C-alpha cells in the first residue's frame, strides 16, 4: 500500500489547489445544468406545498414512498464519510489520506439532502419547527420525546453538527495554505478562517489528537444515527414486517455498504475531473474495493437473517409482506434486481485485483450497489406498508408520481452541485495529510533486497 | 532588554533540527524556540519541547453539560404535558435515553472542537513573524531573542544552513 511517488510540498499545493485557484472550462456549465435541475425540483416542491401531497402517489395505506426511501438512502450515503475517515484514522491506515475529506464532505451534503426529504414529506414544512424543536414557549406545546420521529432529528442534527465541525477543524491548516496563496478579498476570508494558524509544533500536536479524538467520538454517533432511522420503522406498531431485532445493525451495515461505494465513485470522479492521478491512486480504489467485499458480505448476512426470521415465525402479516416482496409483481422483479445489483454483481467484480484496479469497472460496481441499495429501502418501505391482510378495502398499491421522481432525481444533482461548489473554495483532498504521508514516505529502510517506506505514526 | 523574533527558513528537516540545537547551546531558552511547518512531523523530530495540554478534559465537560441539558429538555417537555400512555410513567427513561445520548455526544464533540481551538492558542489576533514559504515546504525556526543577540542568532541560523533569515521590520 505504498505506491506513488514522493511529491514536493510546492507541487502538492499546485496540484490540489488547482480546483480553487483556477476554474476549469467545464466547471460553470456543469454547475449551471445541475443548478437548473435543482431549480426545477424547487419549483415542483413549491407547487406541491401549494397543492398538497395529493399530487404525489401516496395514498392509504402507503403513506411513505419515494421521499422516505430517498431519505433513508441519503442517510445511508452519509455514513460512509465519517465511518471511512474515522475508522481508517483510528487504524492509522496510510491509504486513507486522499479519501478522508471527500468522504466527510459527502457526509455533510448527503445529510443536508436527506433532511429535506421528511421535511417536504410533511406537506406543511414550516410545522416541523414546532413539532421537532422545543421553541414554542408561549403555547406550551413541546416535542413528544417518546417518538422516534423526534429521536431522528436529534440524532441527525447531532451527526450533521459533529461532521461539519470535524471537517472544519481539519480544514484550518489548509485555510492557512490558501491564505498564503491568495490575494485581495479571498486572502482576507481565508486569513479569517485560518485564525492565525502558523503550523507550530503545539498546533500540529493538537490537530493530530483532535483527528483521533473526534473520530472516536463521532463513530458512536454514526452508529446511533442509522439505528435510530431503523427505529423509525421498528417502533411503528402498524407495519408488522418492520419489527425484526436485526433492523438496526442491518441498516447500519447497509448504509456503510452504499456509502463506501459512493465515496469510491466520487474519488474516481475527482481523479478524472482534476487530474489527481498522483493522489487518488489505484491502490486507494483497490483498498476500498477490498473493504467493500467485507462490508457487502456482512450486509448480505443481515439481509438473509432478516428474511429468514420473518418467514420462520410464520406470522400471517410477515408472510404477506414476504409474498409481496418475493412472489408478486411488480415487487418480485425489483427484489431480483436489488439482490443482484447490491451483492452478486459488485462482489464478483471486487474479488479480482484486476477489476478493483480498473476504474471503469469500479465505477460501474459502485453505481450498481447504490441502485440496489435505493431499491432495498423502497422494498422495505412500500411492501411493508402495503401489507395485504385484514380488511381488503384498504388494499392499495403505490405508483410514484412524476413530481416525486423529479424531486428524487434532483437530489443527486443537488449533492453533486454542492460537492463541486465546495471543491471550488476548499481543497477536497487534505493537503497537510498528503504532505505528512510524503514526509513519512521519504524515509525508507532496506529489508533484505527490498527498500520499503519506513512509515511511522506516533500519537 | 526587549525581545524580538527572528525566523530562519530551512529546506531540510535535519538542518532545522541542528539549528534548534545550536540555538539552545547558545543560551536561547527552549520555550523561546518554535518550529513552523506545513505538515505534522513526528513529535520530537526537531528536538522541540514537549507540549502540555488539557484537551482531554474538554469532552468530559462537554458531555456532562450535554447530558444535563438533554435530561432537562426531555424531562421538562414530558412534565409540561403529562399524558399517560399505556400506563407507563410520565418520565419514561427508555424514551429519554436516545435524546440524552445524542445530547451527551453533541456536548462532548462541541467542547472538543472548542478545546482544540483554545489549546492551539487560536484565534491568534496579532500575527507574528511568518513567511509564506513555510506552506511551500520550508521549515521555519522561530526564536525570540534579546535585541542585542539578533546578529549572533542570525549567524547561528545561517551557519546551520538557513536559506533565508528574517527579522521584524
The Cα angle at residue A384 between residues A299 and A51, in degrees rounded to 5: 115
Q: What does pLDDT average to over chain B?
A: 90
Closest CA to A309 of A319, A299, A300: A319
* Window B:18-77, CB contacts with A under 8 Å: 34-43, 46, 48-49, 51, 53, 55-56, 59, 73-74, 76-77
Band of pLDDT at residue B106, cut at 50, 70 and 90: very high
Contact: B98, A205; criterion CB under 8 Å: no
Residues of A in contact with B40 (CB under 8 A): 204-205, 207-208, 432, 436
Rg (CA), chain B: 26
CA distance B93 to B90: 9
Could you tell me where the DSSP H helices lie in A182-200?
A: 184-194
B142 touches chain A (CB under 8 A): yes
Band of pLDDT at residue A98, cut at 50, 70 and 90: confident
Other CB atoms within 10 A of residue B23 CB: 23
Buried b (16+ CB within 10 A) or exposed e, A418-455: bbbebbeebbbbbbbbbbbbbbbbeeeeeeeeeeebeb
CA distance A24 to A106: 21
Does residue A456 have a pLDDT over 80? no
**Given this model, what pLDDT does residue B51 score?**
85
Other CB atoms within 10 A of residue A233 CB: 22
Q: Do B38 and A9 contact (CB within 8 A), yes or no?
A: yes
Q: What does pLDDT average to over chain A?
A: 88
Domains and CATH numbers, chain B: 3-51+126-167 (3.30.70.120), 57-119 (no CATH)
**CB-based contacts of B124: which residues, under 8 Å, 6+ apart?**
A195, A196, A197, A198
Q: Looking at mean pLDDT, say which of A36-45, A150-159, B47-56 comes out highest.
A: A36-45
A176 touches chain B (CB under 8 A): yes
B33-36, strands of its sheet edge to edge: B33-36, B139-146, B3-10, B164-167
Contact: B40, A205; criterion CB under 8 Å: yes
**CB-based contacts of B17: which residues, under 8 Å, 6+ apart?**
B45, B46, B47
The SS3 of residue B143 is strand
**Given this model, what pLDDT does residue A51 score?**
94
Residues of A in contact with B103 (CB under 8 A): 154, 158
Other CB atoms within 10 A of residue A142 CB: 22
* Bridge partners, residue B4, by sequence: B145
The SS3 of residue B168 is coil
Q: Which of A133-142, A182-191, B130-139 has the lowest mean pLDDT?
A: A133-142
CA distance B113 to A168: 9
Question: What is the pLDDT averaged over residues B128-144?
Answer: 91
The SS3 of residue B148 is helix
Percentage of residues in chain A with pLDDT exceeding 70?
Answer: 94
Closest CA to A411 of A104, A42, A92, A28: A42
Chain A interface, mutation test: which of B120, B123, B125, most A Cβ atoms within 10 Å? B120
- Residue bearing cell 440524552: B100
Q: Do B167 and B155 contact (CB within 8 A), yes or no?
A: no
Q: Do B134 and B26 contact (CB within 8 A), yes or no?
A: no
Count residue pairs from A and B with Cβ separation < 8 A.
Answer: 180
Q: Nearest CA to CA, how far is A285 from chain B (Å)?
A: 25
Residues of B in contact with A146 (CB under 8 A): 78, 85, 92, 95
Evaluate the CA torsion angle A79, A250, A131, A400 in order and state its sign.
positive
CA distance A349 to A457: 34
The SS3 of residue B122 is coil
Contact: A210, B116; criterion CB under 8 Å: yes
Residues of A in contact with B72 (CB under 8 A): none
Indicate the CATH number of A9-453 among 2.30.140.10, 1.20.1630.10, 3.30.200.20, 3.90.1150.10: 1.20.1630.10
Closest CA to A120 of A43, A234, A183: A43
CA distance A227 to B88: 24
Q: pLDDT for A355-373, tens place per residue? A: 999 999 999 999 999 999 9
Chain A interface, mutation test: which of B47, B56, B113, B126, most A Cβ atoms within 10 Å? B113
Residue A109: all three cell numbers together:
451534503
A143 touches chain B (CB under 8 A): yes
Pick left, alpha or beta for residue A261 (phi over 0 → left; psi -120 to 50 → alpha; otherwise beta).
alpha
Band of pLDDT at residue A1, cut at 50, 70 and 90: very low
The ipTM is 0.93
Closest CA to A76 of A294, A250, A307: A250
Q: pLDDT for A430-452, tens place per residue? A: 998 888 887 777 666 777 777 66
> Cα dihedral angle (A20, A21, A23, A24), rounded to 10 degrees?
-90
Q: Do B2 and B146 contact (CB within 8 A), yes or no?
A: yes
- Give first-to-last CA distance, chain A, whole Å: 21
Does residue A457 have a pLDDT over 60? no
Q: Do A254 and A227 contact (CB within 8 A), yes or no?
A: no
Could you tell me where the DSSP H helices lie in A235-315?
A: 247-274, 282-312
Of A206, A213, A457, which is closest to B59 when you measure between CB atoms?
A213
Does residue B48 have a pLDDT over 90? no
Residue of A nearest to B35 (CA): A200
* Bridge partners, residue B34, by sequence: B142
User: pTM for the complete prediction?
Assistant: 0.91
A183 touches chain B (CB under 8 A): no
Does residue A74 have a pLDDT over 60? yes
A213 touches chain B (CB under 8 A): yes
Q: Nearest CA to CA, how far is B21 from chain A (Å)?
A: 16
Of B102, B116, B137, which is closest to A9 when you measure between CB atoms?
B137
Helix (H) or strand (E) holding B142: strand B139-146
Q: Nearest CA to CA, how far is B51 from chain A (Å)?
A: 6
Band of pLDDT at residue A459, cut at 50, 70 and 90: very low
- Residue bearing cell 483497490: A286
Q: Do B32 and B3 contact (CB within 8 A), yes or no?
A: yes
HSE at residue A35, side-chain half, CA atoms within 13 A, is 8
Percentage of residues in chain B with pLDDT exceeding 90?
Answer: 56
Helix (H) or strand (E) holding B7: strand B3-10
- Residue bearing cell 500500500: A1
CA distance A285 to A290: 9
Question: What is the pLDDT averaged over residues B84-102?
Answer: 87
Other CB atoms within 10 A of residue A149 CB: 17
Q: Do A67 and A121 contact (CB within 8 A), yes or no?
A: yes
The SS3 of residue A276 is coil
Amino acid at each position: 500500500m505504498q505506491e506513488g511517488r514522493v511529491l514536493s510540498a510546492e507541487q502538492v499545493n499546485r496540484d490540489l489547489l488547482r480546483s480553487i485557484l483556477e476554474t476549469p472550462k467545464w466547471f460553470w456549465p456543469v454547475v449551471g445544468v445541475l443548478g437548473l435541475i435543482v431549480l426545477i425540483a424547487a419549483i415542483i416542491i413549491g407547487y406541491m406545498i401549494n397543492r398538497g401531497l395529493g399530487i404525489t402517489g401516496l395514498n392509504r395505506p402507503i403513506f411513505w414512498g419515494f421521499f422516505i426511501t430517498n431519505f433513508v438512502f441519503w442517510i445511508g450515503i452519509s455514513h460512509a464519510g465519517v465511518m471511512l475517515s474515522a475508522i481508517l484514522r483510528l487504524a492509522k491506515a496510510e491509504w486513507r489520506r486522499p479519501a478522508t475529506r471527500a468522504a466527510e464532505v459527502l457526509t455533510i451534503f448527503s445529510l443536508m439532502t436527506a433532511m429535506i426529504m421528511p421535511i417536504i414529506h410533511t406537506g406543511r414544512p414550516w410545522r416541523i419547527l414546532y413539532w421537532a424543536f422545543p421553541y414554542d414557549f408561549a403555547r406550551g406545546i413541546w416535542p413528544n420525546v417518546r417518538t422516534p420521529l423526534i429521536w431522528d432529528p436529534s440524532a441527525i442534527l447531532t451527526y450533521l453538527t459533529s461532521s461539519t465541525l470535524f471537517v472544519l477543524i481539519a480544514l484550518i491548516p489548509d485555510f492557512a495554505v490558501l491564505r498564503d496563496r491568495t490575494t485581495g478579498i479571498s486572502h482576507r476570508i481565508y486569513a479569517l478562517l485560518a485564525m492565525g494558524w502558523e503550523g507550530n509544533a503545539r498546533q500540529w500536536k493538537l490537530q493530530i489528537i483532535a483527528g483521533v479524538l473526534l473520530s472516536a467520538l463521532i463513530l458512536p454517533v454514526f452508529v446511533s444515527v442509522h439505528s435510530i432511522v431503523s427505529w423509525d420503522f421498528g417502533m411503528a406498531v402498524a407495519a408488522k414486517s418492520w419489527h425484526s431485532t436485526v433492523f438496526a445493525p442491518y441498516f447500519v451495515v447497509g448504509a456503510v455498504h452504499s456509502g463506501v461505494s459512493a465515496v469510491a465513485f466520487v474519488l474516481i470522479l475527482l481523479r478524472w475531473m482534476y487530474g489527481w492521478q498522483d493522489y487518488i491512486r489505484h491502490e486507494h480504489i483497490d483498498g476500498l474495493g477490498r473493504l467493500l467485499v467485507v462490508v457487502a458480505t456482512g450486509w448480505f448476512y443481515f439481509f438473509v437473517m432478516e428474511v429468514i426470521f420473518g418467514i420462520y415465525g410464520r406470522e400471517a402479516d410477515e408472510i404477506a409482506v414476504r409474498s409481496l416482496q418475493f412472489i408478486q409483481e411488480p415487487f418480485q422483479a425489483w427484489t431480483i434486481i436489488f439482490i443482484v445489483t447490491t451483492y452478486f454483481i459488485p462482489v464478483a467484480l471486487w474479488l479480482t485485483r484486476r477489476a478493483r484496479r480498473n476504474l471503469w469497472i469500479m465505477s460501474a460496481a459502485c453505481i450498481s450497489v447504490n441502485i440496489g441499495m435505493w431499491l432495498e429501502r423502497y422494498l422495505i418501505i412500500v411492501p411493508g406498508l402495503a401489507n395485504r391482510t385484514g380488511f381488503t378495502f384498504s388494499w392499495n398499491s403505490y405508483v410514484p408520481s412524476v413530481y416525486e421522481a423529479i424531486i428524487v432525481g434532483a437530489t443527486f444533482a443537488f449533492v453533486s452541485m454542492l460537492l463541486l461548489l465546495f471543491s471550488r473554495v476548499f481543497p477536497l483532498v487534505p493537503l497537510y495529510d498528503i504532505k505528512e504521508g510524503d514526509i513519512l514516505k521519504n524515509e525508507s529502510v532496506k529489508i533484505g533486497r527490498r527498500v520499503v517506506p519506513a512509515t511511522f505514526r506516533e500519537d | 532588554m526587549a525581545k524580538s523574533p527572528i525566523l530562519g527558513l530551512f529546506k531540510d528537516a535535519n538542518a532545522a533540527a541542528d539549528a534548534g540545537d545550536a540555538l539552545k547551546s547558545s543560551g536561547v531558552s527552549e520555550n523561546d524556540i518554535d518550529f513552523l511547518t506545513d505538515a505534522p512531523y513526528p513529535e520530537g523530530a526537531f528536538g522541540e519541547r514537549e507540549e502540555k495540554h488539557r484537551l482531554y478534559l474538554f469532552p468530559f465537560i462537554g458531555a456532562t453539560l450535554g447530558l444535563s441539558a438533554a435530561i432537562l429538555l426531555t424531562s421538562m417537555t414530558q412534565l409540561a404535558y403529562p399524558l399517560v400512555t399505556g400506563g407507563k410513567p410520565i418520565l419514561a427513561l427508555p424514551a429519554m435515553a436516545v435524546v440524552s445520548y445524542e445530547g451527551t455526544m453533541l456536548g462532548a464533540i462541541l467542547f472538543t472542537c472548542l478545546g482544540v481551538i483554545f489549546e492551539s492558542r487560536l484565534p491568534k489576533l496579532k500575527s507574528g513573524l511568518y513567511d509564506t514559504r513555510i506552506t511551500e515546504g520550508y521549515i521555519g525556526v522561530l526564536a525570540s531573542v534579546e535585541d542585542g543577540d539578533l546578529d549572533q542568532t542570525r549567524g547561528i541560523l545561517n551557519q546551520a544552513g538557513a536559506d533565508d533569515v528574517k527579522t521584524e521590520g
